[in-house]
Amino acid sequence: MISSNDLRPGITFELEGAVWVVVQFQHVKPGKGAAFVRTKIRNVETGNTIERTFRAGERVNRAYLDRKQLQFLYAVKDEYTFMDMESYEQVVLKRDELEDTAQYLKENTIADIVYYKGKHIGIELPLFVELAVVETEPTFRGDTAAGSSKPAKLETGAIVQVPFFVEIGDVIKIDTRSGNYYERVGK
């Protein structure tokens, strides 16, 4: 058990049958009345974020998550095969278990698979991945409006907005948290 006074960003706990991670917290001690802890928490399995207030000293069960570092090998239809970096055991995950992260998976990408009580509940990719642009509109003279962008299809099938100077064959860095273009790495 963990006290609500000990909640900090990154701490995971069980609440109402689900696993939650603290995103933000604020300990409030009003001039009148009892202290309380105002939090913003995210459901680890669904990704939903809610705000919740706990009384000072209220206790919740701590959730211990296990992380395994796996290497993405290949995908066949909706099944993605990973290899455990320590035991070389292969793990197959369905596309719906990977959610949006599947669009940034390239062969040999190292990812952390998150388990809770032996059950897969999530995947954490590196913060940035480098992917090649396979399809985008050509750039024309005069396309220089500040802040403008165009769609580009990447080698994994993901479509992102990129600046006008990015061309087919360029390798770009993508922020996996937001899915946004970060920078051009090279050709």
Question: 185 has which bridge partners?
Answer: none
- Give the whole-angstrom CA distance, residue 166 versus residue 152: 9
Q: Look at residue 53 and tell me whether its pLDDT is greater than 80.
A: yes
Q: Which CATH number fits domain 128-186: 2.30.40.10, 2.40.50.140, 3.40.50.1440, 3.40.50.720?
A: 2.40.50.140
User: What is the structure's pLDDT at 174?
Assistant: 93
d(CA 44, CA 19): 6
24, 102, 111: which is closest to 68 by C-alpha?
Answer: 111
- The stretch 102-106 carries a mean pLDDT of 88
CATH class label, 66-124: mainly beta
- Which of 119, 165, 158, 175 minimizes the C-alpha distance to 144? 165
What pLDDT is attached to residue 134?
Answer: 93
CA distance 155 to 171: 10
**Residues forming CATH 2.40.50.140 domain(s) in the chain:** 66-124, 128-186
Summarize the confidence of residues 92-110 as an average pLDDT: 86
Task: Domain 2-62: state its class.
Answer: mainly beta
